[in-house]
Structures are given as C-alpha cells and as structure tokens.
Structure 1
Amino acid sequence: MAMRVMREKKHQRWKKNLADIFDDMDKDQSGTLPPDKIIEICRVYKVELDENNIKKIADQNGNITKDKFIQFGLDIKLLDLTNRDTQKEEEPSKYSVQRKAQQAQHKSGRKDGGSGLCSCLGGNKEPEDDPQPDRIEIAFRKFDKDGDGYLDWNEFSEATKSMSPEQARRIFEKCDKAGDNRISLEEFRLTAAGQ
C-alpha cells in the first residue's frame, strides 16, 4: 500500500513537472507545441524517439496539446533520469523509445579546479572542454535527490556546500532562468555552457 501511494505521488509530481516543461516551451501560450519542440525536449532529456510517433499524437495542424504531451512524457518516462545510462527497457513503450547508452566516464588530466558551473559543483573541467556530452546530465542526476527532474534550493545548496551560501544563491538564481525557484536540466545545461 505504501509503495502504491509513493508511486501515485511520483506520478502526480511528474505530471506537474511535465506540465511545467510544456508551459516553459509554449512561449506563445497557444496550448500546443510543434513537433520540433517535443524533439528538443526529448534531446535535452536524452531520449531518442521515432519522429513518426510524434505525428501519432499530433492534432490536425501537426501540433501537440498539453494533455497529449503529458501522457506522452509519462509513457516514455521522460523524467525518469535514474539509471538511464545502464537501464535496459524491460518492456518497450507504445512509442518504441530507445534510450541512449551513456559513454564511459572520461577522466581529466587537469590539476586545477577549472571554472564555470561544473567546477562549482565538484567537476574539474569546463563543459566545452569535455568530450563527453552527458557529463552535465550525470552531475544533474547526482544532485537531483528526489528524482523529479528539477533541482530545488535544498538540493542545490547541498551540492554546493563547499562554497559560501551567498555565492551558491547567486549561482542558483543565475541558473533559474524561469524564476520558479528550481532548476531544470535544460537550465542547468544552459548555465554550464555559459549562456
């Protein structure tokens, strides 16, 4: 029973987060997103999909509604960042999603502390110097303790406890581009890339 309640809470949290992701991408507030935006979201979350599957959920104008996006995100487990690098799909979803395999961890020869967001969070290289594109997601998943796809202030401050609280707060506010007091993977990537 407790597990069922926990699963239901996680399901509701994911639905809310998927709705927030949709709203962030729906700049014109039309209530729909074009397929290229859905593809971009899947790219950010490292989920590969067949573009024909997006056409299946699109309306007559070729756009995807918020409800369809939320259901699609739940079906492909878009926000499930746990063990994405080693997990094999036990049963294929109805959208035949294939997850990318994580590249082998690359060890840096640099002895300095580096700079940029990754060094503040315990990394030792700047994102653009890193030949492994998934390093930022690995760090993000490590800091996202509740696995909801966002870093809140508590998770971020725990990850940055080696710096002053004021410095951590400034970085958090810079990362939080939407101003919703949490950092999405996309915002984390943008800040790590210096944008």
Structure 2
Amino acid sequence: MGSELALSAIGLVIQAAALLVFPFAVLAASCRAINAVQDCQLPATPYIELLSLTVGAFAGGIILWTNVHVGLLDPGEIFRKDGPWDMGFGQFLAGPANPFAYDLSAILVWPFSGRLPSLAGLAVLVLGGAVFYVPVLTYRTRRAFANGLRNVVILFWGAYATVYLFFYTGWLANKLNFWIFLLLLVVVGMRRRSERVVLKIN
C-alpha cells in the first residue's frame, strides 16, 4: 500500500512537472527558431515583448471569460472525483491544452460571417497588429521583421499560457485534493519564517 502510494505520488510529480514545463518549452523553442534564422534584438525589444505578453494574457482572459462556466470554479467541482477537473495526463493534453478546443469568436470571426469581434477582442487585434507592424515599419529591416514575428509568437503564447495555466492550476488542485491545504500551510509557514529572518537581519 505504501509503495503504491509512493509510486502514485512520484507519477503525479512527473506529470505535473511535464505539464508545467510544456508551454514554456514551446515558447523557448519558437523564439530560438526565429533567432536562429535572424537575430531579433531591437532597442525597444524588452518593452514591446512585455506589451506582447500583456496583450496575449488579456486575450487569454477573454477566452476564459467566454469559454469557462462559472460553475467549474466551485470547490466541489474542482475537487470532485470524476468531475470536470479530474483528467488524466492525455485527457489534459487533448482537452485544456488543445488551443483548437476553444471558442475564439469574441476575438476572431470567420470572414463574411456577418459577425464582429467584441470591443475587447477588437482591442486585442489592434494591439496585436501594433506589436508586429510598429517595429517593422519603424526599422524596415529583416531584424525588425523577425522581431515583429517573435512579438506575435509571444502574444499568441501569452494567450495560450493564460488559458493553459488556469486549467493546469485546477487540474493540479484536483490531483492534490486535500493535500493542497497542507501544501499551502507549509508555504505560508515558510513565508512567515523568511519574514522573521528579514526582520532580524534589519
């Protein structure tokens, strides 16, 4: 029994670590691929990358708002066995981790559909265009084009990561179940201890 519990815990740690690393590995690989073809650094790089990430996170928030039913956030649903958050590793990758599983109509609409994106979605499109076109039109070089392309990648990643990490948090809470409260107590205790150490040093 003890060995089965230990193996289960080890398996959960491996799965949780793999799922946590996955979106960051995708971003790193994408940016490295662009940089391998053309260096992307421009004077405004850190600021426009931060803007791209912020716009992406905002887009992710819109996607969550339009796709997630508030009932899913009920603690009873989060921790319920066989509930919506109780997913296996493969189910998570095929479901919440699949960017094609969401309704994006609040931001993107099909041409000639007669629909318009929401005002928030329109803001995402305008700012998304800006993070690409501003460096391209300002510098008019291959490096500027690569920079704009990477900004778009970061924007899309920001949207994806916002949705992904939201569901990852719920999935992890479901897997940890009541152990999550023990973990929170440990974290709070460590934080209080570190604050005491800082006070003594000061």
Taking structure 2 as the reference length, the TM-score comes to 0.28
Greater Cα radius of gyration, structure 1 or 2: 2
Higher RCO (CA 8 Å, separation ≥ 6 residues) = 2
The structure richer in helix per residue is 2
Answer 1 or 2: which has greater strand percent. Answer: 1
Q: Using structure 1 for the length normalisation, give the TM-score.
A: 0.28
